[in-house]
Amino acid sequence: MISVIDSIGLSVIKTVIMVRDFVVLTLRTLVYTFTPPFRVSDIFKQLYFVINESAPIVIFCVCSAAAVTIIESSFHMKIIIQNDALVPGFAALLILRELGAVVSALLVTSRVGAGIAAEVGTMQITEQIDALKMLGINPIRFLVVPRLIASVIGGVVLSILANLVCLYVAMLVSQYKLGHSAGSFIVAMRAFVSMQDLYFAAIKGACFGFVIPLVSCYFGFRCKAGAEGVGLATTNSVVTISISIITIDFILSWIFSYFY
């Protein structure tokens, strides 16, 4: 009994310490983000990495998601209300408010988040981070800040891209599959969504993009020696980011609901 309480207590303490360390990392990163020197070329390099690595898979997956959304919703609407005139509106609502931002963020997590955790973790266990410190280079400024800025910008860009591609594909699918013309799709869609929804999707993209590199770098810096260490850092960061994205999505959707 005592040992159970002990181990619960221990894991609570460990969690508290981890959260504290993560908050410290976040605050320090923010301070360095807004104070010189700025490593502009590193930011562009990272931005290229984020967009170049993620855009193809985001576009591919979002196309499938769009097709599924249209086909599924028309199937069910036909059963329930014997009519699929509302499909474009509901599909656009679902895409703009949830699918576009979340699907693209989860894909960026699996590609970029995992990549950063593995890279930083490897640098930690092969003493590359110590080598930076010895040159008086701050690892947070050198590694985290450029990735954070790139990921926030990339998050916004990819979220908007995902949404637009997704809507376009949804329109094509409903044209060929359901016989809605492009014009009627847009008219039906406009009744449900507005430009504001796209802005909110961009805000979601920025918030998800903010979390991804911070969590990945956090686990990378804590990486323990050995190949399992890097594997564990990568897995932990992908799991943690995915849970965070879903949670943040819920919170943001709730906040945005006051503006609709």
Partner 1 sequence: MSATVEFQNVQMSFEEDVLLKNINFQIHKGEKFVLIGPSGEGKSVLLKLMAGILKPSEGKILIEGHDMWNCLPKDRLALLRKMGMLFQKNALFDSLTVGENVAFPMREITQKSEQEIQKQVKYFLQEVDILHALELFPDEISGGMQKRLGIARALALEPGIIFYDDPTAGLDPITSRMIVELILRLQKELNSTIIAITNDMNRAYQMADRMAMVVDGELIITGNVGETQQHKDPRVVQFIHGYLKGPLTEHTEVNA
For residues 19 and 49, what is the distance between their CA atoms, to the nearest angstrom? 28
Which one, 125 or 203, has the nearer CB to partner 1?
A: 125
Which one, 6 or 127, has the nearer CB to partner 1?
A: 127
Closest CB 136 distance from partner 1, rounded Å: 5
Q: How many CB atoms lie within 10 A of CB 230?
A: 23
- The answer to whether residue 31 forms part of the interface with partner 1 (CB under 8 A) is no
- The answer to whether residue 20 forms part of the interface with partner 1 (CB under 8 A) is no
For residues 56 and 144, what is the distance between their CA atoms, to the nearest angstrom? 24
Q: How many CB atoms lie within 10 A of CB 251?
A: 10
- The answer to whether residue 127 forms part of the interface with partner 1 (CB under 8 A) is yes
Which one, 13 or 27, has the nearer CB to partner 1?
A: 13
Q: Position of tokens 């690595």?
A: 53
Closest CB 165 distance from partner 1, rounded Å: 31
Q: Which helix (H) or strand (E) holds 79?
A: helix 40-81
Which residue in the set 6, 21, 72, 130 belongs to the binding site for partner 1 (CB under 8 A)?
130
For residues 243 and 212, what is the distance between their CA atoms, to the nearest angstrom? 11
Which residue in the set 135, 179, 183, 259 belongs to the binding site for partner 1 (CB under 8 A)?
135
Which one, 126 or 235, has the nearer CB to partner 1?
A: 126
For residues 29 and 119, what is the distance between their CA atoms, to the nearest angstrom? 18
Which one, 73 or 124, has the nearer CB to partner 1?
A: 124
Residues 59, 64, 69, 71: is their CA dihedral positive or negative?
positive
Closest CB 211 distance from partner 1, rounded Å: 25
- The answer to whether residue 81 forms part of the interface with partner 1 (CB under 8 A) is no
**Phi and psi at residue 180, in whole multiples of 5°?**
-75, 135
Binding site for partner 1 (CB under 8 A): 122, 125-128, 130-131, 133-137
